[in-house]
Structure 1
Amino acid sequence: MTRRPIGYYVHHHGAGHLARANAIAAASDWPVVLLGTGIGDRGIDLSDDRLIPGGFDGLDGAGDRPEALHYAPLDHEGIRSRIAKVSEWIAVARPALMVVDVSVEIAMLARLASVPVVYVRLNGDRSDPPHAQAFASAHALLAPFHETFERSETPDWVRAKTRYLPGITPVPFKAGVEADRILIVVGRGGVPGNSAWIADAARACPHKSWRVIGPVTPPARCPSNLIFAGWVDDPASEIARAACVIGAAGDGLVGAVLAADRSFICLPEDRPFGEQFATAQALERLGAAIVLKQSPQPVEWPDLIEREAAIPSDVRRRLHDPLGAKAAAVWLAALAGRYIGERADAA
């Protein structure tokens, strides 16, 4: 018996959406088809919807727009193509379920096409009308974070529709920790890192080995204990080897750090809907990380690293489910089976 697939829409901004989709698909016994820009032969590749190739700030330049939409630029050939391709795939594949990670517009399109939707609900203030409508139209909401990260302002009806599933990450890389290694992670969704403060931090801790991954241009004068590795294919292995990780509060990085159970110094970045600030506040409130509102002075780094190393490991471990991806896959399969009248464990 051929099962009708679960569609999984992957947003192109940042690496976390695709990592989450891949982790769920790898853990799923139900067929999962990825849809998104840059997916290539891993699924259904969609035309780019960005106004500026390679850049995305979420602004569509539209003077008028329905209140229920976030991003709807006019006369954009890429959007016409991607909407047509998603609609055609839905008509032919007849998906049992559509996971949307994330896009209010794609969620509405799937709902209009009579497909049950699970909307991935990220942290932050999502009380604006488009998010509220997407949440209301979805059959369920998936929060890829621990329930204790939840904002107190989140309405009860949103909480009631939400399944909290921390730990939707690739299987953690097993590697020995290098006790003196400090890893700085600069994510794909942010701006290129400023290398000056990194070099100053490394100079302030000459007994530590500093390594940077991500889009950062090395400074003209680089201390001998600092390496800029650029983009890497296996950030999980880099995180696994580090004694302490420094980076922003993006969902992907936070999940990877918790999965590897590594010390974390968090510098949240400004993101739409205050997503990273909300996550950072939760980490600080729960005592799971050192959270900084700005880059510290060089002389502060030795004390910060020492303070973070003193945080008990169990504080981080209770925020992570090592079987999170499997739990998400089983839950989604159960929903898919329910909507098409099939038991999730049926062949």
Structure 2
Amino acid sequence: MTRRPIGYYVHHHGAGHRTRANAIVAAMDWPVTLLGTGIGDAGIDLCDDRPCDNGFDGIDNAATRPDCLHYAPIDHEGVRRRIARMAQWIADHRPALLVVDVSVEIAMLARLASVPTIYVRLNGDRGDAAHCDAFRGADALLAPFHQALELPSTPMWVREKTCYFPGIASVLSLDVPNTSRVLVVMGRGGPPGDGDRIALAARACPDLQWRVIGPVTPPSNRPSNLDLAGWVEDPMREIAQAAIIIGAAGDGLVGAVIAADKPFICLPEDRPYDEQRATAQRLDALGAAVVLRNWPSVDQWPTLIRKAQAIPSSVRMALNDHNGAQRAGQWLTRRAANATGTLEKVA
């Protein structure tokens, strides 16, 4: 029997959605088609739906937008074409499931097109009408974090519908870690790092080698123990090779740091629905990371690094699952098999 594919929608804001999708799909024995802007030859490349001014935050602020939607701008050619392309793919391929990571609009489109959805639920205060409708309409919810990181205010009906899969962004490396390397990770979802501020921090810790991956402004006076690597091909390997990580509280980075069992200094950034602050709050409450509200003064860095290094490995490992991607892939495979009546084919 031909297996009807799983569609996997990948949001294009930040890099974590694609990283997560790649890890899960690689662990699956089921045909999967990626759909998203910037996918290229890896799947179905959808037209960009972002405004021309690049001020995209996933909310259109339109007075006439229904409460069940976040982003539905009027007379946007990119939005029109991407919705048409997805609807045509659904009609042609009759997917067994559509995994949505993340977009309440795509979840609604799938439901209207009679496709069962698995909604990837990120952390944060997502009790607004649009998120609640997407959660309610989904067959199940996938949380790419440990249940212990769940925001206490999350409603019980949402928790009961959620399967938690920590450790999806696994980190594997045969290299011996550099015990003197501090790795500063800057992602795609926020502003570039402040090079001058990082340079001062590196200068305050002359016995450590500082390395920055991701976008950062050039420092006016770069010390010899600071390396600005820019974008790298394998950030997971960089994390595995470091002694301590400094970065924000996005699901992708937090998952990778925990999987690699690295001391973590966490500086959550502003995101819609307080996603990063919710995760950072739980990391702090569990004693799993050094969490800061703001970039610290220069003289604090040596103490902060020692404090992060003193956190027991067991605290981080309690939040990890080395088989997270495999478990998520197997779970999706079973749901696709049940949806298409081919369970005996994948048993």
Fold match by TM threshold 0.5:
yes
Q: CA deviation at 1:61?
A: 4.5
Q: Would you say the 8 A contact 2:213–2:228 is kept in 1? A: yes
Structure 2: how far apart are the matches of 1:13 and 1:173? 27
Mapping for residues 170-319 of structure 1, pairs under 5 Å? 170-319=170-319
- Tell me: CA distance 1:344–1:148, structure 2 relative to 1, closer, same or farther (3 Å): farther
Partners of 2:173 and 2:255 lie apart in 1 by 13
What secondary structure is seen at the aligned counterpart in 1 of 2:13? coil
Does the residue aligned with 2:34 lie in a helix, a strand or coil?
Answer: strand
Structure 1, gaps ≥5 residues long: none
Q: Distance in 2 between matches of 1:81 and 1:130?
A: 22
The alignment's TM-score, normalised by the length of structure 1, stands at: 0.98
Deviations 1:183-213 (A, max 9, x none): 0000011111111210110110011100001
Q: Does 1:35 align with 2:35?
A: yes
Query: CA separation in 2, counterparts of 1:176 and 1:53?
Result: 44
Instruction: Quote the residue 2:93 is aligned against.
Output: 93
C-alpha deviation, 1:344, in angstroms: 6.4
State the distance in 1 between where 2:167 and 2:280 align.
17
Q: Which residue of structure 2 aligns with residue 149 of structure 1? A: 149
Contact 1:176–1:241 (CA under 8 A) maintained in structure 2: yes
Q: Deviations over 1:88-124 (max 9, x none)?
A: 0000110000100000000000011010000000000
Where 2:119 maps in the other structure, the secondary structure is strand
Give the counterpart letter for 1:210 in structure 2.
W
Separation in 1, partners of 2:12, 2:326: 23
1:76 paired with 2:102, answer no
- Output the amino acid matched with 2:29: D
3-state secondary structure, aligned to 1:262: coil
Stretches of 4+ moved more than 6 A in 1? Answer: none
Change in Cα spacing, 1:112 to 1:78, as seen in structure 2 (3 Å) is same
Query: Could you say what secondary structure the match of 2:180 adopts?
Result: strand
Is the CA contact 2:168–2:255 (under 8 Å) kept in the aligned structure 1?
A: yes
CA contact (8 A) 1:334 1:344 kept: no
> Are the equivalent residues in 1 in contact too, given 2:171–2:237 (CA < 8 A)?
no
- CA distance, structure 2, for counterparts of residue 61 and residue 254 of structure 1: 30
RMSD of aligned alpha carbons: 1.2
C-alpha distance in 2, partners of 1:195/1:171? 27
- Do 1:172 and 1:259's aligned partners in 2 also have CA atoms closer than 8 Å? no
TM normalised by structure 2 equals 0.98
Give the total of aligned pairs. Answer: 347
Structure 2: where are the runs of 5+ without partners? none
Counterparts of 1:246 and 1:275 in 2: how far apart (Å)?
A: 18
Displacement after TM superposition at 1:55 (Å) = 5.0
CA offset at residue 340 of structure 1?
1.3
> The residue matched to 1:90 in structure 2 has which SS?
helix
Name the counterpart of 2:340: 340
What letter corresponds to residue 16 of structure 1 in structure 2? G
